[in-house]
Structure 1
Amino acid sequence: MQQLKNLLIPGILWLNARSMTDKYSHEAAQKRIYQAFAALVSRDERTIDLAQAALLIASVAYPDLDPVPSYNYLDVLARRVMQLRPQTSLEDIEQPNPLELVSSLNHVLFEEEHFHGNEDDYYNPDNSFLNKVIEERTGLPITLSLLYMEVGRRAGIPLEGIGLPYHFMVRYAWPDGKIYIDPFASGLLLNEAECLERLQQKTHHRGPLHARWLDPIKPKQMLVRILNNLKSTYIRREDFRHALAISDLLLLLLPDAGVEQRDRGLLHLELKHYGRAMHDLDAYLELHPQASDRYEIRNHIKQIRQTIAQLN
């Protein structure tokens, strides 16, 4: 028996040491992602690089991700789009035909590269990561829209994100009109009325349809929506560690959002980070003393205090 112990103990010590090393390595990687994301979103919103932000979000799941191949691929796609743009005169360069611009983008992304919406595995976290969307040629409406916008920006085609309820699209606006593009539907072109009608059909929405849904959203709002999608997906899978990392990024974008602080506190609680959980839940009640769930949160705080007392 002693001989067996002598054989096993070094292996157990090595595994424990490796586990601790992996833990610290993971924490260091998450800290680097957090700091880089904080620096990015603290800039003037008009200068936020959505591709860079999306790849930092993807680094939560892929901490060794090298963003350079993704940037290069977006640049290559943009050059191909520009080569398709007809430029027969100076007037064509200064006042390009909107339909021809969008047609060039659609041709490269959907006919040549075969990007498409992932309807078969919609709730896979990879659908929210730009590197995986590029690799697999599929994703969610919002990540395909982000890809579409970033290729368009590089090709000199200014596009805006449209955050419809339960869906996301892209708009190209010029002085005489607007085109709505659905990257999830292989670049389907729609006008305003068709957008709302299609939304009603797909979601079975029975209430009033609001024209304001077609207003463009800002880059930070787009990132919040991507992160909320991911947080919900990870919670549904009970992957609380990754959900917590996403919650940290959300609070960089929404530092005064008490609900996000509550959610992070509950994720800390799931992971048995009792001190951090109590801090976040206390902060939530300070921000929202009359919250509808205040009694439930107070009960959580009471149980946390009891647990901490027992551990001490």
Structure 2
Amino acid sequence: SMLDLVLERRKGLPILLSTVYVEVARRAGIAVAGVGLPGHFVVAHFGQTPPLLFDPFGGGILLEPSDPLPLRPSGPHETVLRMLNNLVGSYRRRADLTRAIRAAELRLELPVGEDAARTTFEAELRSLRARLN
């Protein structure tokens, strides 16, 4: 989940590839945004209805929206929060508690809209720290 490695290797997790895709498009004057889907992260162009969905992880293929739920652009904080959630989970599964704690701490530095989410993040950080000791 390191953006520098994604740029170097030209492959990586969907959320990181989508972040690169969005930034390159922005610099080219093309309005696209990252969109968090359940279990996946893609890029959308909201200039028409329904929005055009692209999957950078799938080589940039155009996706057909299968879910009637409205799509919403993911802002920078939401995207970074999702990346940090991925890192906490990944490090936790690998029992790399030091890195899981660092990612969990960074997550609390972001503005989180809901008090319940912040409470959950704080509890998870306490749990990780307790496992380290």
TM value normalised by structure 1: 0.39
SS of match in other structure, 2:65: helix
Residues 25-52 of structure 1: CA distance to partner in whole angstroms, max 9, x if unpaired?
Answer: xxxxxxxxxxxxxxxxxxxxxxxxxxxx
Matched, 1:215 2:72: yes
Percent identity, please: 40
Alignment of 1:122-271 (within 5 A): 128-174=1-47, 178-190=51-63, 194-196=64-66, 209-212=67-70, 214-253=71-110, 254=112, 256=115, 257-271=118-132
Deviation >4 Å, runs of 4+: none
Q: What count of residue pairs does the alignment treat as equivalent?
A: 129
Calculate the aligned-residue CA RMSD, in Å.
1.7
Q: CA deviation at 1:177?
A: 6.5
Runs of 5+ in structure 1 lacking a partner?
Answer: 1-127, 197-208, 273-312
How far apart in 1 are the matches of 2:94 and 2:127? 15
Q: CA deviation at 1:195?
A: 2.7
SS of match in other structure, 2:62: strand
How far apart in 1 are the matches of 2:61 and 2:96? 35
Q: Which structure is richer in relative contact order (CA contacts within 8 A, separation 6 or more)?
A: 2
The residue identity in structure 1 corresponding to 2:13 is L
The residue identity in structure 1 corresponding to 2:65 is C
Runs of 5+ in structure 2 lacking a partner?
Answer: none
TM value normalised by structure 2: 0.88
Structure with more of its chain in strand, by fraction: 2
Q: CA deviation at 1:240?
A: 0.4
How far apart in 2 are the matches of 1:177 and 1:169? 15
How far apart in 2 are the matches of 1:262 and 1:176? 40
Q: CA deviation at 1:185?
A: 0.5
Larger radius of gyration: 1
How far apart in 2 are the matches of 1:266 and 1:176? 44
